[in-house]
Amino acid sequence: MILLKNATIFDGENLGTAYEDLLLKDGVVARRGTDLSAEGAEVFDLGGKLVCPGFIDLHVHFRDPGYEWRENTESGARAAAGGGYTTVVTMPNTEPAVDNPVTVEYLVARGKKAGASRVLPAGCVSKGRQGKQLAELALMAESGAVFFTDDGAPVSDAKLLKTALLYSRDLDVRIMEHPEEPSLSAKSQVNEGAVSAASGMKGCPASAEVIDIQRGIILSRETDSPIHFTHVSTELGIDAIRQAKKEGLPVTCDVTPHHLSLDETYVLVSRFSSAYKVNPPLRARKDVKALWDAVADGTVDAIVTDHAPYHLDDKDVPFQEALSGIASLECSVAVVLDTWAKTGKPVPLERLLELFTSGPAALLSRPWRSLGSLKEGAPGDVTVLDLEAIQRVDVNQWKSKARVCPWDGEMLQGWPVMALVEGRVVMNRLKDPE
């Protein structure tokens, strides 16, 4: 039993205006009010710090099974807790791919054993992520898969994607599409624009993203099935999703901390540091602004890390040879909060917090949708934020096995200081309980 006292509470929808207390008992939210007491409870006086529903990351890569030296479920779950996340969704582009119920069950069990953040697996849309044959969607859903995706690549066959959308609608598990047209993006290194022109490296055009988004929107309209587009990075892509939402289609999307805080010029300024190489690539400044506008107007449904852990040997090579991906689980919340503050707080704090809590929770399969709330009886998942905390990013202190991060060494303001999963403390940078 844990009692959090003197907190400013964001319940997933509204931000409180006075200090309140929150009691967690038997793994759920038991009471919310003022001057609460509970015999035998561990008491944490938060001094006005911000209490939120546990943060949810819908898109992480833990490399388990097959590439555990880069990240395994245990190190990833602990890294997530260290970053203030209480629930993460792991992508299925592993070796072997997560395309059957046995592998889903394996990952669920590994996540529970880790004893840190909750780990919910996504399953593949197609067998082996080959885009040729539908994977065992219903069986994977029964085993605990909360999304279907061939992430790392789009679903290559439009007919198969349409069939998957129809199945997913009946299973109440969303398709998550990696929006990319490979014929346009193949062998690209950076964004098509100023950096590709200056460097001579092949650029990835915005059209590569928006073409696949338009395909998914058309199929969503035709099947009346939800589709979720992940790590949207361009103004054109966001505009297409905004129009689909205005039409009333069940289309959702997420954006990443790196696409909200970095643009393509960082590649040049860093002298082509592979820490800035990611897919989709860092885009132009107008795209970054478009993403923040989409956060403000409700087009964006969630912020996800796309945490892509690689061994130093994978990244400590010339830019053209490096693998694409940014590791950020343990600093991503701070990156977003710091960027938000430094850009003049362009959206209300409540709106920003929704994208880590109730927004992503609403996109999960039905058993997990209550994670984005602090109502009585909801799971006792809590993230505590200190918006005034200033801390240096130090990858050497990370729980993740990854050590290549573009923010390493930077001072950021606004950090998670405590995380609880089902009333159990999984991260604590506060003083001991009273």
- The two tokens of residue 305 are 């890390």
8 Å CB contact between 199 and 166: no
- DSSP conformation letters of 117-140: SEEEE-B-SBGGG-SSSB--HHHH
CA angle 143, 420, 345 (to 5 degrees): 105
Whether residue 157 lies in the annotated active site: no
Rounded Cα–Cα distance for residues 122 and 141 (Å)? 9
The C-alpha atoms of residue 101 and residue 136 are separated, in whole angstroms, by 7
Helix/strand number for the chain, H first, E second: 15, 18
Supply the DSSP symbol for 324: P
Beta strands of 260-367 (E only): which ranges? Answer: 302-303
CA 322 to chain centre: 23
Q: Which residue has the tokens 């970053």?
A: 83
Query: Catalytic one among 57, 306, 314, 386?
Result: 306
Q: Which residue has the tokens 């070796």?
A: 95
Nearest partner of 263 among 294, 292, 279, 287, judged by Cα = 287
- Output 428-431 pairs: Cβ under 8 A, ≥24 positions apart: 430/44, 430/46, 430/384
Active site residues: 306
